[in-house]
Amino acid sequence: MACFFRRCVALQLAEVCGLSEDVFIPLISAVPVSQKQSAADLRVSVNSLRQNGAVAADGDLQSKTQALANQRGAVVEEVSAGRGVIHFRLNRPILAQKLLEQLCSEPDGFGVKSELLRHLQGGRTLVEFSSPNIAKKFHAGHLRSTIIGNFIANLKKALGNEVIRVNYLGDWGMQFGLLGAGFERSGSQEKLRTQPLEHLSVCCAAAECDESVRSAAAEFFRRLERGEDQALALWRQFREITVDEYKRIYQRLGVHFDHYSGEAFHQHQTQNVLDELMTRGLLKTTEKGTAVVDLSGAGDLSSYATLVRSDGTSLYITRDVAAALDRKQRFGFDEMIYVTDKSQTVHFRQLFHILLAMGHQWAERCVHVAFGLVQGMSTRRGEVVFLEDVLEEARSRMLNNMRQSSTSKELEEPEQTAERVGISALIVQDFRGPLMSDYKFDWDKVLQAHGDTGVFLQYTHARLCSLLRRHARETYSCCDVSPLVDSRSVSVLQHLLRYDEVLLQSANELQPRHLVNFLLTLSHLVAVAHRELPVKGSSAAVAQARLCLFSAVRSVLANGMRILGITPVEKM
């Protein structure tokens, strides 16, 4: 409903400046509550007006502002000029009425249906994320790709896109030569049934430490590439075991995929890629016998990507080119987003370059979302290797904190609640800063009940749910919102005005921190309002209005948390 107020201000600007109101819609923004020096609700920068020709470079800003001030009506009560901005103060009862009407009638559409978002890339979005290596336990390092990719997929879906979630498994390459050779030497089918991934990890580690296995490993991978039945049967067994294990962990995280793929699926397509590159004159053979694509632009091979080794086996990037072409044909995506750590930045730059050189202009709508490393993630038993250890640690610590807390309620499923809150804590900790940044992990900070944490976010949501349950018999509507003109209520309403802007910024940058910070600020604002604006003991009209406000905030919190990949809890 922020678009209603933005439209009202745009109409006034259009009349004074002589341009279409649609010119002004994207220029108008809500004033952040934390930056309030006045009672203004919306603002527009003078520079943006000048850049769009609404105000001449040497124009009289004062006269324009005065003309706007003279036009104030029922919705906009006051217009004033600040340093480089024009401020607009909204009628408080109308602010409450319009915002809460939409949140009461269509809570799930709030923000996501704003006209501010209409110019975003729509259609079909394919997101590739998580992408662990098969035959290995889910490493803690894959947590970031999994939760970041899930956030992007959730956000795109919330904004109306059709989303395809792809898990592109590392199921091919020389590491499987090592694994296959190691298993043929020391593997046991009995141990593979009882402790599958642990046993495969031991076999692979033993092979990596034994120089004598190297040649056997290279031969096993050549057998895979030739399609030898015995080698492929072993590979399929490793893959099925791993995917079943991963699905169990994804379920704990609340993550799902529409399509499990892998490098192996595209292995047979690599020759077609190489043939097309050769036909186009893009593939060169070096003195070492490797096949490369020149990326220099000058034809001097000062920058190139290697697609085939000297022994004739393909590389990761060759299979990635084949995968991209296959996905475009199979899914017809409008945009494709890859989520991996920042060490692969050059790889994706090369991938997109090759696709464009092959004449595929849709590669311009392929994006790599890179992220930094997590440092110091460990459990009480020591340094973390596997993600499941992190999840167990989060649940265990959270359960202990809940038992010691004087505010915790008796719960029917305390372990499930502890797991959901613990995962929320991990997600919020990860999402608070720029994704490219490395950060140091600290369990004590992550699981704090107060401050800017996932635990505080869940606690705020659960507390609002508790309040609404206690007053479930009372009917409350948005008919009379006149009691919501106090400073605490107005601050909450003003912050809600920013929701569509935050979603827009999140979608443009594919960064979750904007939504995280919005939800944390909303939680702090509503915590103060809950403390200072009691429902119990207030008159019926005041109680109804406050319950309507608290119900609206609960809806926005829950919707925002779900976009982040957090399952809101109703009790804790």
Under DSSP, the state recorded for 530 is H
Q: Is residue 347 part of a domain?
A: no
**Which residue from 336, 277, 326, 329 is spatially nearest to 305, judged by alpha carbons?**
277
- Torsion angles phi and psi, residue 35, rounded to 5: -105, 15
Query: Which whole number is the average pLDDT over 334-362?
Result: 97
Q: Is residue 376 part of a domain?
A: no
**pLDDT confidence of residue 431:** 96
**pLDDT confidence of residue 35:** 56
Residue 381 pLDDT greater than 70, yes or no:
no
Of 348 and 316, which is predicted with more confidence? Answer: 348
Of the candidate ranges 53-67, 329-343, 358-372, the one whose mean pLDDT is the lowest: 53-67
Residue 555 pLDDT greater than 80, yes or no:
yes
**Which residue from 169, 89, 103, 93 is spatially nearest to 136, judged by alpha carbons?**
169
Which residue range is the domain that position 493 belongs to?
A: 387-564
Of 546 and 55, which is predicted with more confidence? Answer: 546
Give CA–CA dist 511/148, Å, rounded: 9
Domain limit, last residue, from 42, 74, 90? 90
Strand order in the sheet with 162-169: 259-262, 162-169, 124-128, 335-341, 366-371
The answer to whether 459 and 449 have CB atoms below 8 angstroms apart is: yes
Query: Which whole number is the average pLDDT over 453-479?
Result: 88
Per DSSP, the residues of 236-303 read: HHHHHHHHHHHHHHHHHHT---SEEEEGGGGGGGHHHHHHHHHHTT-EEE-TTS-EEEE-SSSSS-SS
Residue 58 pLDDT greater than 90, yes or no:
no
Query: Which whole number is the average pLDDT over 41-66?
Result: 79
**pLDDT confidence of residue 260:** 93
Give CA–CA dist 567/458, Å, rounded: 9
Q: Show which residues are catalytic.
A: 136, 139, 142
The answer to whether 51 and 107 have CB atoms below 8 angstroms apart is: no
Q: Is residue 13 part of a domain?
A: yes
Of the candidate ranges 310-314, 332-336, 345-349, 475-479, the one whose mean pLDDT is the lowest: 475-479
Q: Is residue 520 part of a domain?
A: yes
**Which residue from 355, 314, 313, 359 is spatially nearest to 338, judged by alpha carbons?**
355
Alpha-helix runs per DSSP H in 379-475: 387-404, 414-431, 443-446, 454-470
Supply the angle between the helices 92-105 and 487-496 in degrees, to the nearest 10.
Answer: 60
Of 161 and 267, which is predicted with more confidence? Answer: 161
**pLDDT confidence of residue 1:** 59
Q: What is the pLDDT of residues 302-325, one digit of tens each?
A: 889 999 999 887 888 999 999 999
Mean pLDDT in the chain? 90
Of the candidate ranges 55-59, 145-149, 176-180, 494-498, the one whose mean pLDDT is the lowest: 55-59
CATH number at residue 539: 1.10.730.10
Query: Which whole number is the average pLDDT over 371-400?
Result: 79
Residue 299 pLDDT greater than 90, yes or no:
no
Using only C-alpha atoms, the chain has a radius of gyration, in whole angstroms, of 28
* First CA to last CA distance, the chain: 32
**Which residue from 405, 453, 452 is spatially nearest to 425, judged by alpha carbons?**
453
Give CA–CA dist 464/462, Å, rounded: 5
Q: Is residue 177 part of a domain?
A: no
Domain limit, last residue, from 68, 90, 112? 90
CATH number at residue 77: 3.30.1360.70
Query: CB neighbours (10 Å) of residue 223?
Result: 19
Query: Which whole number is the average pLDDT over 254-268?
Result: 90
Q: Is residue 372 part of a domain?
A: no
Under DSSP, the state recorded for 408 is P
Q: Is residue 278 part of a domain?
A: no
**pLDDT confidence of residue 57:** 65
Give CA–CA dist 557/463, Å, rounded: 12
Count up the domains in the chain and report the number: 2
Q: What is the pLDDT of residues 184-225, one digit of tens each?
A: 888 999 998 888 888 888 888 888 888 888 888 888 988 988
Domain limit, last residue, from 34, 65, 90? 90
Beta bridge partners of 383: 378
Per DSSP, the residues of 410-437 read: P-SSHHHHHHHHHHHHHHHHHHSS-TTS
Q: How far is CA 296 from CA 202, 292, 431, 487, 520, in A?
A: 43, 12, 36, 60, 46
Q: Is residue 411 part of a domain?
A: yes
**pLDDT confidence of residue 343:** 94
Share of the chain above pLDDT 70, in %: 95
